[in-house]
Amino acid sequence: MAFEFTDDNFATTTEKGVHVVDFWAEWCGPCRLVGPVVEELATEYEGKATVGKVNVDHQPNVSMKYGIRSIPTILIIKDGEVVDQHVGTITKAALASKIDKQLQ
């Protein structure tokens, strides 16, 4: 199951390691397409990377901090720094490739 990032846990959670953060909302059609991909990758990368989600309607502070204006937006954060970003839908293979690049 995908990790739930919140305004309260985001900074401490993303300090060390690789984190994949899906910014989404319940009303967003493309977000519903990306959701299952994020869930599958959360299971597949367990113990290697934290794969999770931020509901932009419920967690406005972290969304504003990263300037999220379009959803879905996926950030890949390594040791507290954004190292990759993707806006819009993405295939599982393409996202896995982005994660693998950061785990090397």
Q: Looking at the DSSP assignment, which residues form a beta bridge with residue 74?
A: 22, 86
Annotated catalytic residues are: 28, 31
* pLDDT, averaged across the chain: 97
CB 20 within 8 A of CB 52: yes
Q: What are the pLDDT digits (tens) for 10-45?
A: 999 999 999 999 999 999 999 999 999 999 999 999
- pTM for this one? 0.95
Identify the three-state secondary structure at position 36: helix
* Contact status, residue 28 vs residue 55, Cβ threshold 8 Å: no
The structural architecture, per CATH, of the domain 3-99 is 3-Layer(aba) Sandwich (3.40)
For the chain, percent of residues with pLDDT exceeding 70? 100
* Contact predicate 102/18, CB 8 Å: yes
